[in-house]
Amino acid sequence: MTGKRAREKSLENEEDNIFWVKSEGEKRLATINLVPGNQVYREKLVKIDDEEFRIWDPYRSKLGAAIMNGLEILPIVRKSNVLYLGVSTGTTASHVSDIVGPSGIVFAVEHSSRVARDFLERVASFRSNIVPILQDARSPKEYFSVYGPVDVVYVDIAQPDQTEIAILNCKTYLKKGGYMMLVIKTRSIDVTREPAQVMRSEAKKLSANFEIVQEINLEPYEGDHGMIVAKYLG
Ligand code: SAM
């Protein structure tokens, strides 16, 4: 098999389930397709021996962009339980579903019913490890299908108060010692401030309950976006 573990490049966790696969003469980020033959966003499928890999486009996925830009810890691993806020049509969530595999779970929250319908039809209905939740992330107590504490809360909702929403969700569902991955759309928080300044002030809001593990700029894959990875201290 020529698929290689991504940790060879930057990640170190044994349970990582992401790969570098040779496609069109280049090494590309990929996950093993949980639903062989099924595409989510017309991504390329590459068969190597008896495994099918889905090429993960970092220009279409901020988690993919973070990995390309040197993410040091990917807390989403095989068997993880992930609460994903702002799942949209499922581009990134589908790769998270591949990574956690059949023994993990992705609780997928989206508040727009139009987008959620698309997500259900094209992604969640094919993937038994996804639990779709049509709710507003501002009201985490209303997600009746989330059971038990989760290992990771992944947040990509592009709201001015996204950090406060993220903290509330972590306090409700994240296990102590678990991780939050928070995508910051700097311009949706404050267009008048420098992106680095916005990142710093959002990270500061986390200081009471989290240890900041890494702040990553997502350029050139996503302009005006960054990601904060933080460990929940409870
Ligand atoms: N994470 C997606 C991906 O990588 O494929 C893209 C997410 S898109 C930038 C943001 C999504 O968050 C939109 O689909 C939007 O409807 C959703 N959203 C925004 N505010 C929300 C809220 N309060 N509750 C739930 N979903 C929300």
- The residue extents of the domains of the chain are 3-56, 63-232
Could you report the per-residue pLDDT of 122-167, keeping only the tens digit for each?
999 999 999 999 999 999 999 989 988 999 999 999 899 999 999 9
DSSP state at residue 198: H
Task: Please name the residue whose Cα sits nearest to atom 3 of ligand 1.
Answer: 92
- Residue 144 has what pLDDT? 87
Mutational test site, ligand 1, from 88, 96, 188, max ligand atoms within 8 Å of CB = 88
Superfamily of domain 63-232: Vaccinia Virus protein VP39 (3.40.50.150)
202, pLDDT greater than 80: yes
Nearest to 23 by CA among 59, 62, 64, 52: 52
Could you report the per-residue pLDDT of 35-53, keeping only the tens digit for each?
999 999 999 999 998 899 9
How does residue 15 score in pLDDT terms, banded at 50, 70 and 90?
low
- State the pTM of this model: 0.93
Query: Which ligand 1 atom sits nearest the alpha carbon of residue 91?
Result: 5
Q: In what helix (H) or strand (E) does residue 179 lie, and over which residues does it extend?
A: strand 174-185
Fold equal for 3-56 and 63-232: no
Nearest to 154 by CA among 201, 101, 110, 195: 110
In short, whether 110's Cβ falls inside 6 Å of ligand 1 is yes
In short, whether 186's Cβ falls inside 6 Å of ligand 1 is no
Cα 93 to averaged position of ligand 1 atoms, centre (Å): 11
Task: Please name the residue whose Cα sits nearest to atom 17 of ligand 1.
Answer: 86
Phi, psi of 126 (to 5 degrees): -95, -15
Query: Which ligand 1 atom sits nearest the alpha carbon of residue 89?
Result: 5
Mean pLDDT of the chain: 91
CATH topology of domain 3-56: Phosphorylase Kinase; domain 1 (3.30.200)
In short, whether 111's Cβ falls inside 6 Å of ligand 1 is yes
Q: By percentage, how much of the chain surpasses pLDDT 90?
A: 79
190, pLDDT greater than 80: no
- Residue 2 has what pLDDT? 36
Could you report the per-residue pLDDT of 58-112, keeping only the tens digit for each?
999 999 999 999 999 999 999 999 999 999 999 999 999 999 999 999 999 999 9
In whole angstroms, give the CA distance from residue 125 to residue 129.
Answer: 10
Mutational test site, ligand 1, from 60, 142, 143, 156, max ligand atoms within 8 Å of CB = 156
In short, whether 86's Cβ falls inside 6 Å of ligand 1 is yes
In whole angstroms, give the CA distance from residue 104 to residue 81.
Answer: 5
